[in-house]
């Protein structure tokens, strides 16, 4: 994984919510994801393995050797693509990424969905209210996602022009937050 520069770290830190907002979010019940309850006292990995909508993502995280990382202290914000999002990729893409010789590329793709802060959708909405209407979200994979609002929902654009909508925001975890998205974000090649 690449290191975040001081500027990038400061930018993502601006997304992080304070302790009061986190405590309020912890008191509200998490949404169901993939037919499974999501528990705020469990890690990202502990919850993700129970979602029927995220089996491809979980298999990819396991293949990339990222289970320990995403089980770590965090905080992390994970933009979690669904199985349907992976199905939109060209035929054979997922199988190719899962091949042992492509582990570094798989890690890069996956970590381009992870920011090193806990960013609630309300914080993203507030930051996108600036005159440009977008906010840069640096990721652990070295990618920069562009967050904006569309129809009241958080929209993400990757470096290749793919656009994802956050379909289930603010799924609290003990080590961060998950936002379910409908498109896989890809790094510039």
Read off the pLDDT of residues 15-29 as tens digits, 9 standing for 90 and up.
333 333 343 444 458
Mean pLDDT for the stretch of residues 161-169:
95
In a domain, 13, yes or no: yes
For residue 119, the cross-strand partners are none
Mean pLDDT of the chain: 83
Q: CA–CA separation, 107 vs 98, rounded Å?
A: 10
In a domain, 49, yes or no: yes
CATH code for the domain of 48 = 2.30.180.10
Predicted model pTM: 0.82
In a domain, 188, yes or no: no
Q: CA–CA separation, 62 vs 69, rounded Å?
A: 11
Number of domains in the chain: 1
In sequence order, what are the residues at sequence separation of 6 or more whose Cβ sits closer than 8 angstroms to the Cβ of residue 29? none
In a domain, 187, yes or no: no
Read off the pLDDT of residues 45-83 as tens digits, 9 standing for 90 and up.
999 999 999 999 999 999 999 999 999 998 999 999 999
- Domain residues for the domain of 173 are 6-181
Residue 32 DSSP symbol: P
* SS3 call for 58: helix
């Amino acid at each position: 994984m690449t290191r975040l520069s001081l500027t990038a770290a400061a930018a993502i830190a601006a997304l992080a919510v304070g302790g009061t907002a986190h405590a309020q979010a912890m008191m509200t019940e998490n949404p169901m994801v993939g037919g499974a309850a999501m528990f705020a006292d469990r890690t990202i990995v502990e919850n993700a393995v129970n979602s029927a909508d995220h089996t491809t993502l979980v298999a990819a995280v396991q293949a990339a050797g990222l289970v320990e990382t995403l089980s770590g202290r965090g905080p992390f914000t994970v933009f979690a693509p669904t199985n349907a999002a992976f199905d939109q990729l060209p035929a054979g893409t997922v199988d190719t990424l899962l091949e042992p010789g492509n582990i570094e590329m798989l890690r890069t793709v996956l970590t381009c969905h992870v920011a090193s802060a806990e960013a609630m959708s309300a914080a993203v909405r507030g930051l996108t209210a600036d005159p440009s209407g977008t906010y840069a979200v640096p990721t652990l994979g070295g990618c920069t996602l562009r967050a904006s609002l569309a129809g009241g929902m958080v929209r993400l654009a990757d470096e290749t022009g793919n656009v994802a909508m956050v379909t289930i925001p603010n799924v609290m975890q003990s080590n961060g937050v998950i936002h379910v998205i409908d498109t896989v974000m890809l790094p510039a090649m």
